[in-house]
Amino acid sequence: MPANYDNSAWFYDRLSRLVYGKALVWSQVYLLKHIPANSNILIAGGGTGWILEEIAKVRPSGLTITYAEISSNMTALSKKRNTGSNKVIFINEPVEKIENDSLYDLVFTPFLFDNFTEQTLQQVFTHMHTRLKPGGVWLDTDFRPTGKWWQTFMLKSMIMFFRMICGREANKLTDIEGQFERHKYKVIDKKSIFEECILSTA
Ligand SMILES: C[S@@+](CC[C@H](N)C(=O)[O-])C[C@H]1O[C@@H](n2cnc3c(N)ncnc32)[C@H](O)[C@@H]1O
């Protein structure tokens, strides 16, 4: 079952900020400096679309952004965002189902992969990998296991909650870093926050 956040669209941002403060926002905003001017970018699982407003602060014009979001409620909220003069193409579909020949200078997966089982992670990763131009940049931010009991407790609670509400398929974190290593990505920037349990990588 896909991790469709339709049911949580109206409270997702408030809840995530209540639990993690601004950590989920900072971890993504930190990476935006890597977006090249006038680039063609793909964002998968952007949620309510607040990231589009943050991108417009860094690059107010010249970008073409394909915004793939499986949830129609999340997509509807995203369409209301102030995206500056950037061109945004909203696609209300799973990113791995997009059938076009576009290649991207940069792809961004903000808290997308933690929703997936190992099998779906591989499928989605491979699909996006084929869409990134050689030498392109992949921005990723997500949870990572740290072994600390209170973080494990928070993560497990979050996973259970979103499994119930949104049909999230994964019941544990998968090896996201392993995917990047297997596909020979070179890390140019890496920052962990929230006591190391959130990792932002370019
Ligand atoms: C955990 S939320 C993160 C939302 C946002 N990135 C944020 O940090 O506020 C994951 C988002 O990915 C979307 N999603 C899940 N699977 C997807 C897929 N295969 N393609 C595109 N979006 C997907 C969900 O609907 C949800 O909005």
Dump pLDDT digits (tens) for 180-202: 999 999 999 999 988 788 899 99
CA 12 to ligand 1: nearest atom: 9
Q: What is the mean pLDDT of residues 91-113?
A: 95
**CB-ligand 1 contact for 84 (6 Å cutoff):** no
Cα of 4 vs centre of ligand 1, distance in Å, is 7
Cα of 68 vs centre of ligand 1, distance in Å, is 9
> What are the backbone dihedrals phi and psi of residue 130, each rounded to the nearest 5 degrees, phi first?
-70, -20
Does residue 167 surpass a pLDDT of 80?
no
**Residue owning tokens 């791995």:** 96
Q: What is the mean pLDDT of residues 23-42?
A: 97
Give the pLDDT score at 2. Answer: 67
Give the pLDDT score at 146. Answer: 81
Between 20 and 46, the higher pLDDT residue: 46
Between 174 and 151, the higher pLDDT residue: 174
Ligand 1 atom 4 nearest Cα: 47
> pLDDT confidence of 47, banded at 50, 70, 90?
very high
| pLDDT tens-digit readout, 52-67 | 999 999 999 999 999 9
Cα of 38 vs centre of ligand 1, distance in Å, is 25
- Give the DSSP H/E element, type plus range, for residue 160: helix 149-166
> What are the backbone dihedrals phi and psi of residue 15, each rounded to the nearest 5 degrees, phi first?
-65, -45
**CB-ligand 1 contact for 8 (6 Å cutoff):** no
- Give the chain's mean pLDDT: 92
Give 106's strand partners: 41, 137
Answer whether 95's CB lies under 8 Å from 127's CB: yes
Query: CA-to-CA distance for 45 and 3, rounded, in angstroms?
Result: 10
> pLDDT confidence of 85, banded at 50, 70, 90?
very high
**Residue 32, amino acid:** L
Q: What is the mean pLDDT of residues 28-54?
A: 98
User: Minimum mean pLDDT among 23-27, 119-123, 171-175: which range?
Assistant: 171-175
| pLDDT tens-digit readout, 109-125 | 999 999 999 999 999 99
Give 44's strand partners: 68
Cα of 6 vs centre of ligand 1, distance in Å, is 10
